[in-house]
Amino acid sequence: MNTKLSSPSNDDSVSFKGNDRLLYGIVMGVIAFWLFAQTTLNVAPEMQRDLGMDSNTMNIAVAITSLFSGIFIVVMGGLADRVGRLRITRVGFYLSIAGSMLVAITPPGGLSVPVMLVGRALQGLSAACIMPASLALLKAYWDGAERQRAVSIWSIGSWGGSGLCSLVGGLMTQSFGWRSIFWVAIAASILGLWLMRGTPESRAETRGVYKFDVPGVLTFMITMVALQVLVTQGNKLGWTSPIGVGLMAVTVIFGLLFYRIESKSANAFFDFSLFRNPTYTGATVSNFLLNAVAGTLIVSLQLVQLGGNLNAQQAGMLTLGYAIGIIAFIRVGEKLLQRFGARKPMIWGCLINGLSIILLSPANLLLSQYKILAIIGYTLFGIGLAFYATPSTDAALSSLPAAQTGSGSGIYKMASSLGAAFGVAVSAAIFTALGANDSSVRWLEGVITFAGRQDNLAVRGAAIIALGFNVLMVVVAILSITLTVPSRKAETAT
């Protein structure tokens, strides 16, 4: 649509329909995070050498962004409903600019650690603002097929950016240095703010005086910090160690306390009644599980490096089809949604993902054979996510009440980050534990014939079992969709 933007006012917000300028402005914020801020997953070693940091500190700098995003994403989504979705989106842009600038100017030496950690934390906060608030704007200012198109373009920025970030980060670092990545992120955020200018504010209608839900937010933050640290660091800390058990206890105790507070609060920022809607529940649960199969990537990439002696660049090139598949087929998922409803393309996307993991599983083959299957498998992995992304996001958005679009979007996106963290942590734990003990997978030799080298059977067997865990999560995702998301006929009947 090419509706002309008008100046902000309450009357304008009722009649305003989103246009491409606003849409692409929102996408700039998504890209600033997924395409640029997340490049640290790949360029961290170069940053570490340049700044003189130790590896543990650099790992914290990489992880802290996702941690802050996961902790605050529901809080900022709920706040967006109350104080304004456009306002919180803009706050996210400003935080992105500030965080990227701190990272870009991080000096070597003594100040590198605090400057880098604060910058990365601000980037995480920016994502916590932009992701739910921008999805709420899509719900507020686009309807029907136009909203589905908007969600597709938003998903290209999000899913496509995450698929390309390692490749883009490597190329930019090689050509211009790693700092150039974050200057480009600043430029993208400034462009986004400019494109969004003149958009009227959108917020939920409220009755009475709004009181910020301090007890709910505090208990939620404690629960999320404990859970995120447990999921991401449990393998290093030890799941049954005093620290691991303590984190489990804190997660359960404060999680139950949070549920009790929110169930009774009139100003609860996290509304559990959203899960009474089966479509929203199915979209959110399957979103968690399909993001959890990100563990497939870490296992398969470590397999070809540890078991096949490929370097990181050679292994990364096998995944090129993953990013291409997402970007090329996102709009196909949108068209499938419009023709068949959300349920079928969501299931088809999961089935394609399951097939891709199966193709990545035969670690018993020769490396030359496995690389061919890997290229096909990674491409199908991207296509499966592309089929799933728009139908799932639209199903979640369309089932949310107008007053809770921001908080509901925050919960949906939190499922993404928690799912990815959970899947990577569990898959890596299975792979590492079994790969370190040859006897734990020796029984596979009686079931599968391993071609080629025989000195790496523990690593190859561990990969097969860890990837089997990811297939199981896809099966559960399909079951959750089948049981909760209605078919097109059922939607029409109601």
pLDDT digits (tens, 9 = 90+) for 112-151: 889 999 999 999 999 999 999 999 999 889 988 898 899 8
Q: Is residue 299 pLDDT above 80, yes or no?
A: yes
Q: What does the domain layout of the chain look like in residue ranges?
A: 7-201, 211-266, 272-486
* Most confidently predicted of 41-50, 261-270, 469-478: 469-478
Q: How far apart are CA 304 and CA 384, in angstroms?
A: 23
Instruction: Give the position of tokens 């292994």.
Output: 315
pLDDT for res 3: 41
Q: How far is CA 211 from CA 71, 214, 255, 402, 453, in A?
A: 20, 9, 22, 19, 65
At residue 296, what are phi and psi to the nearest 5 degrees? -55, -40
> Could you tell me which CATH number the domain at 7-201 has?
1.20.1250.20
Decide which of 277 and 316 is more confident.
Answer: 277
Mean pLDDT across 443-465:
79
Q: How far apart are CA 375 and CA 322, in angstroms?
A: 9
Q: CA-based angle 140:142:144, to the nearest 5? A: 120
Query: Do 186 and 100 meet the contact criterion of CB atoms below 8 Å apart?
Result: yes
Mean pLDDT across 327-351:
94
pLDDT for res 6: 37
pLDDT digits (tens, 9 = 90+) for 2-15: 444 433 444 455 55
pLDDT for res 4: 41
Decide which of 185 and 69 is more confident.
Answer: 185
Mean pLDDT across 23-50:
86
pLDDT digits (tens, 9 = 90+) for 393-419: 999 988 888 777 888 888 898 888 788
Decide which of 445 and 202 is more confident.
Answer: 202
pLDDT digits (tens, 9 = 90+) for 67-94: 788 778 888 888 888 889 999 999 999 9
For the chain, helix, strand, coil in percent to 5 are: 80, 0, 20
Decide which of 139 and 190 is more confident.
Answer: 190
pLDDT for res 208: 57
Domains 7-201 and 272-486 share a fold: yes
Decide which of 172 and 205 is more confident.
Answer: 172
> Could you tell me which CATH number the domain at 272-486 has?
1.20.1250.20
CB neighbours of 113 closer than 8 A, spacing ≥ 6?
Answer: 53, 57
Q: How far apart are CA 59 and CA 72, in angstroms?
A: 21
DSSP structure string for 449-465: PPPS-STTHHHHHHHHH
Map residue 294 onto helix, strand or coil.
coil
Q: Is residue 284 pLDDT above 90, yes or no?
A: yes
Kindly calculate the radius of gyration of the chain based on its CA atoms and give it in whole angstroms. 22
Mean pLDDT is lowest, of 13-27, 117-131, 377-391, for 13-27
Kindly state the helix (H) or strand (E) to which residue 372 belongs, with its residue range: helix 367-398
Decide which of 109 and 341 is more confident.
Answer: 341
When the pLDDT of each residue in the chain is averaged and rounded to a whole number, the result is 85
